[in-house]
Amino acid sequence: MSITDIKTLGELKESGYKSISIKDELRKNLIQKLKKQETVFEGVWGYENSVIPELETAILSKHNINLLGLRGQAKTRLARLMVTLLDEYIPVVAGSEINDDPLLPLSRYSIELIAEKGDETPITWLHRDERFFEKLATPDVTVADLIGDIDPIKAMNLKLNYADDRVIHFGMIPRANRSIFVINEIPDLQARIQVALFNILQEGDIQIRGFKLRLPLDIQFVFTANPEDYTNRGSIVTPLKDRIGSQILTHYPKSVDIAEKITEQEANTLSGQKETVYVPKLAKRLVEQIGFEARESEYVDVKSGVSARMSISIFENLLSTAERRSLLTEDSSTTVRLLDFFGTIPAITGKIELVYEGEQEGAATVAQILIQNAIKTIFLELFPEIKKLKKDGEETPYDQITQWFYSQDAVELLDDMDDGYFKDQLNAITPLENLIQKYQPEFHNEDKLFLKELILWALAEFKILNKERFTKGFQFNDPLANYIRGI
């Protein structure tokens, strides 16, 4: 017989069911998973040796938790994944507003119902997915929203006076009894509302309009917040912070490899795009490097942070830019080009907050600078450094390329160029292949075209080549040759 087939309090007692608090429940199930060496927080990357051990320690300690970090650091995701540590079902007194435990009822309704019906009291079963409550803290949130208030309509319908506690309408927190309750962006909650949480966290009672109800609510609280110095909208009041057992600092991915895993997992890639658009590994690397550059940029507000959602949006726009081009050129399939990254600028401008210098440059210009810096960073990881000054007669690895451009006409890479012509244009620059064979001989053939394009862009960024933007694309040429021809 399934446990959910139990329908009355008497049957529940006969089954030997034992009531435990939600914090004990989380602790019990976490211990079982740790003993089996199972992954507790699936799909969260980069926290294996930092945030997750601290979070597991907090759960073992039966603490309420505050996840403190910049935007886009998986704080809410971690809180939602705690649901997997709950029992699949728990019994609830049928009709209870606050998920009363049939063996340990709290509300007047459940106490009176059990007193009346005894072992015949009907019970229902609550699935763990229904035991997660989430509230975004905004300045307009009231005590009535979170804790409750007197309901005059209920008083009128039941013909009760306001001294009777049955006129109370419970708020979100009492209704989340025996559940995980998440308050996102807790500093945005007004200080007086934060004060209303004191007793719930410490003493387990609630106060509503003069009623002081001793309701030892059984709740696992999880708060999320940005660092206090990020916003002037508010902060966590000190007495509330003191009642939160563990404060855990989250962080951004510390390596590009981890960032790539997150983007690949979270990006909304359509099946049609997967079939028709090939993304070179180097392009994926460039997507993530843009985010790393943004977090170090003098134009971006580091206190605001750069969300992992930016890389996800860039990747989605990158695929769509390539897809749109292939539709216009009628190519049945295509490969992402570096040119396509300029179609991702709208995904960058909306995801970064600029300091004064950035505002002066403009969001679109800053986005281009981030792309250019990412190109230079990746190039220097693959090829020798380009020295700003060199001695007379000193040879560099890039001399063959500059000589080729000196003796040839400019190379044009157009936004809407079909794949065949685009490939011919790059492959015609034979010194590019020689450079790759010397320094990156094991590079995958299907990705070489993107690498050749990256070399051109990097040489232009380092002023070895000249790059000019025109209406439908870019032109690469030798700056000295143009000067001489101009004479």
Q: What integer pLDDT is reported at residue 231 of this predicted model?
A: 47
Strand-pairing partners, residue 133, are 181
Q: What is the DSSP code (8-state) at residue 232?
A: S
Residue 463 three-state SS: coil
Quick one: pLDDT at residue 374? 97
* Residue 199: per-residue pLDDT: 76
H or E segment at 93?
A: strand 89-93
Instruction: Provide DSSP, 342-407.
Output: GGGHHHHHTT--B-HHHHHH-HHHHHHHHHHHHHHHHHHHHS----S---TT---TTHHHHHHHHH
Question: Vertex 29, ends 24 and 34: CA angle to 5°?
Answer: 125
The strand pair at 168-170 and 148-150 is best described as antiparallel
User: How do residues 129-158 score in pLDDT, each as one tens digit?
Assistant: 999 999 998 888 888 888 877 766 666 666
Distance separating alpha carbons of residues 292 and 374, to the nearest angstrom: 8
As a whole number of angstroms, the distance between CA 204 and CA 210 comes to 16
Beta bridge partners of 477: 466
Report which of 361, 344, 256, 378 is spatially closest to residue 298, judged by C-alpha positions. 361
What confidence tens digit (pLDDT) does each residue in 75-105 have? 999 999 999 999 999 999 999 999 999 999 9
Q: Name the burial class of residue 3, with classes exposed (0-12), middle (13-18) and buried (19+) by CB atoms within 10 angstroms of its CB.
A: middle
Q: Assign 412 to helix, strand or coil.
A: strand
SS3 assignment for 168-229: EEECHHHHCCCEEEEEECHHHCCHHHHHCCHHHHHCCCEEECCEEECCCCCEEEEEEECCCC
Is 419 buried (19+), middle (13-18) or exposed (0-12) by CB count in 10 A?
middle
For the chain, which residues score pLDDT lower than 50? 229-232, 485, 487
In 398-476, which residue ranges form alpha helices assigned H by DSSP?
399-407, 419-427, 430-439, 448-461
pLDDT of residue 311: 95
**3-class SS at 483?**
helix
Summarize pLDDT for 222-237 with one digit per residue, the tens. 999 988 544 445 688 8
The pair of three-digit structure tokens given for residue 152, joined into one six-digit string:
């005059």
| Residue-level pLDDT at 406 | 87
Q: What separation in angstroms does the CA of 224 have from each of 241, 318, 478?
A: 12, 31, 54
